[in-house]
C-alpha cells in the first residue's frame, strides 16, 4: 500500500480509474474509495472491510450537479443541499438511472449521497470524474479512522493507497437524513447537528432506537466498538480502567478539558483507539468514559459511545 501526499492526488485518481481502492480524507473521517460505477471495485471495498454485503455505501460527488445525475432531489433535499453542501450531511434519495453499481446501494431503490467539505476529497472527485463509493476506511465494526495512520493499522494489506491529509477536522461521520419519503427522517446523528437541519426544513421524524432502523442497516447496535469493554457516564475510573474524561471530569485522556463538544467530537475516535491500546497493553481491557451533554454534537457523540458500550 502507498501513502500518498496531497501533491499526489493525480496518482490516487489513476488508481481509482483502474478499479483500485484508495482511502482519502474528508472533513468527517477517512473514506475508503472506489469508483461507484465499477461493481468489481465496489466488491473489493466490502471484502477489504469485512463488511456484510447488505450494508449500502455513501456515494461521494464533487457538487450538486453531479448528484442530480444519479439521484432525484425533492424540494426539502435541495434546500438542505444548498444550505449544507459541501459538508457533513448525507442525503438518502430516490436513485436515478443505472450507472451506479447495485452493490453500492445493496439493491435498494434509494441512494445515499454527499458532497464532502475537504480540499483533497473535492480535488480527487474532480479528477476521477466519477462518483466514489466510500464507507469509513476502517475494518467493519471498528472505530472510524480520523488519521491516515488509523487506516494503515486497519487496512494496509487490503488497499492500494491512502492519501494523507492529516487529522480530519470534524472527527465524526456525516449526519444521514432520509429524504426519499414525504417526511424527512434522521437515520444517523453526525457532524451536522439536528438543530441546524431543523432550522432549514422544520421537524424531522426519527426513530428513538436507531438500532431498529431497517432502512439504515449500518446502524447495528454494537458498532464503533474498541476491543476493550466500555463503561459510560463514569465519574472516576474503577480499579485500572483507562479513563477518558470530558470537561471537569478528567482522565488519562480528556476529550475536551474546556467542555467544548466540537473539540470532543474531533478527538473521540482517536482517543478510543489510544485508550484501547493502553487497556490492552496493561491487560485491564476496560475503558471508562465521562458523560457528555446530549445536545448539538453531543447527540452524535453519545450515539457512537452507546454503540461502543453495547453488549457484544
Ligand atoms: O462521514 C461519513 O459519512 C463517512 C465519510 C467517509 O463520508 N462515511 C461513512 O460511511 O460513514 P459508512 O459506510 O460507514 O456509513 C454509511 C451509512 C450506513 O449506516 C448505511 O447503512 C447508510 O449509510 N446508508 C447508505 N445507503 C443507504 C440507503 N440507501 N438507505 C439508508 N441508509 C443507507
Ligand atoms: Mg462506518
How much is the pLDDT for 223? 59
185: helix, strand or coil:
strand
Angle separating helix axes 75-84 and 194-201, nearest 10 degrees: 130
Looking at ligand 1, which atom is closest to the CA of residue 58?
Answer: 25
The bound ligand whose nearest atom lies closest to the alpha carbon of 108 is 1
The bound ligand whose nearest atom lies closest to the alpha carbon of 138 is 2
Angle separating helix axes 297-309 and 261-281, nearest 10 degrees: 20
- The residue whose CA is least distant from atom 32 of ligand 1 is 216
The bound ligand whose nearest atom lies closest to the alpha carbon of 36 is 1
How much is the pLDDT for 192? 98
Q: Are 163 and 15 in contact (CB under 8 A)?
A: no
Bridge-based pairing of strands 161-163 and 132-133 is unpaired
Closest CA to 216 of 35, 46, 92: 92
146: helix, strand or coil:
coil
What's the CA gap between 207 and 89, in Å, rounded?
A: 18
Ligand 2 centroid to residue 39 C-alpha, Å: 20
How much is the pLDDT for 218? 47
What's the CA gap between 178 and 268, in Å, rounded?
A: 26
Ligand 2 centroid to residue 17 C-alpha, Å: 23
How much is the pLDDT for 226? 84
Ligand 2 centroid to residue 83 C-alpha, Å: 24
What's the CA gap between 112 and 115, in Å, rounded?
A: 11
How much is the pLDDT for 106? 82
Q: Is the pTM of this model over 0.75?
A: yes
| Beta-bridge partners for 232 | none
> 34, 53, 56, 147: which to mutate for ligand 1, most atoms within 8 A of CB?
56
How much is the pLDDT for 52? 66
Q: The C-alpha cell of 54 is what?
A: 447488505
Q: Are 5 and 24 in contact (CB under 8 A)?
A: no
Task: Answer yes or no: is the C-beta of 120 below 6 A from any ligand 1 atom.
Answer: no
How much is the pLDDT for 222? 58
Per-residue pLDDT of the chain (312 residues; tens, 9 = 90+): 999 999 999 999 999 999 999 999 999 999 999 999 998 899 899 889 987 666 899 999 999 999 999 999 999 999 999 999 999 999 999 999 999 998 899 878 999 999 999 999 999 999 999 999 999 999 988 899 999 999 999 999 999 999 999 999 999 999 999 999 989 999 999 999 999 999 999 999 876 554 434 444 445 555 567 889 999 999 999 999 999 999 999 999 999 999 999 999 999 989 999 999 999 998 889 999 999 999 999 999 999 999 889 887
Cα 121 to chain center, whole Å?
14
C-alpha pair distances (Å), 256 with each of 93, 228, 250, 259: 36, 22, 9, 5
Q: Which region holds residue 129: left if phi is over 0, alpha if psi is between -120 and 50, else beta?
A: left
The backbone torsions φ and ψ at residue 122, rounded to the nearest 5 degrees and listed phi first, read -70, -40
Task: Answer yes or no: is the C-beta of 57 below 6 A from any ligand 1 atom.
Answer: yes
Looking at ligand 1, which atom is closest to the CA of residue 32?
Answer: 6
Amino acid at each position: 500500500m502507498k501513502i500518498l501526499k496531497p501533491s499526489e492526488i493525480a496518482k490516487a485518481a489513476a488508481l481509482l480509474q483502474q478499479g483500485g481502492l484508495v482511502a482519502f480524507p474528508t472533513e468527517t473521517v477517512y473514506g475508503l474509495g472506489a469508483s461507484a460505477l465499477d461493481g468489481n471495485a465496489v466488491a473489493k471495498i466490502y471484502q477489504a472491510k469485512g463488511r456484510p454485503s447488505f450494508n449500502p455505501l455513501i456515494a461521494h460527488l464533487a457538487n450538486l450537479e453531479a448528484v442530480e445525475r444519479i439521484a432525484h432531489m425533492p424540494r426539502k433535499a435541495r434546500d438542505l443541499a444548498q444550505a449544507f453542501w459541501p459538508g457533513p450531511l448525507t442525503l438518502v434519495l430516490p436513485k436515478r438511472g443505472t450507472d451506479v453499481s447495485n452493490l453500492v446501494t445493496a439493491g435498494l431503490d434509494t441512494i445515499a449521497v454527499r458532497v464532502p467539505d475537504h480540499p483533497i476529497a473535492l480535488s480527487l472527485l474532480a479528477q476521477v470524474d466519477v462518483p466514489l463509493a466510500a464507507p469509513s476506511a476502517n475494518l467493519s465494526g471498528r472505530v472510524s479512522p480520523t488519521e491516515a495512520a488509523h487506516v494503515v493499522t486497519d487496512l494496509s494489506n487490503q488497499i492500494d493507497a491512502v492519501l494523507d491529509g492529516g487529522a480530519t477536522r470534524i472527527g465524526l461521520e456525516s449526519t444521514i437524513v432520509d429524504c426519499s419519503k414525504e417526511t424527512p427522517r434522521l437515520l444517523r446523528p453526525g457532524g451536522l447537528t439536528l438543530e441546524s437541519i431543523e432550522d432549514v426544513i422544520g421537524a424531522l421524524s426519527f426513530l428513538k432506537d436507531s438500532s431498529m432502523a431497517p432502512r439504515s442497516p449500518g446502524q447495528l447496535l454494537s458498532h464503533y466498538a474498541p476491543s476493550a469493554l466500555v463503561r459510560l457516564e463514569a465519574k472516576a475510573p474503577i480499579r485500572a480502567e483507562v479513563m477518558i474524561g470530558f470537561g471537569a471530569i478528567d482522565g488519562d485522556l480528556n476529550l475536551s478539558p474546556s467542555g467544548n463538544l466540537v473539540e470532543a467530537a474531533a478527538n473521540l475516535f482517536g482517543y478510543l483507539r489510544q485508550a484501547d491500546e493502553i487497556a490492552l497493553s496493561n491487560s485491564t481491557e476496560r475503558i471508562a468514559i465521562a458523560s457528555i451533554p446530549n445536545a448539538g454534537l453531543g447527540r452524535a457523540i453519545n450515539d457512537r459511545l452507546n454503540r461502543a458500550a453495547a453488549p457484544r
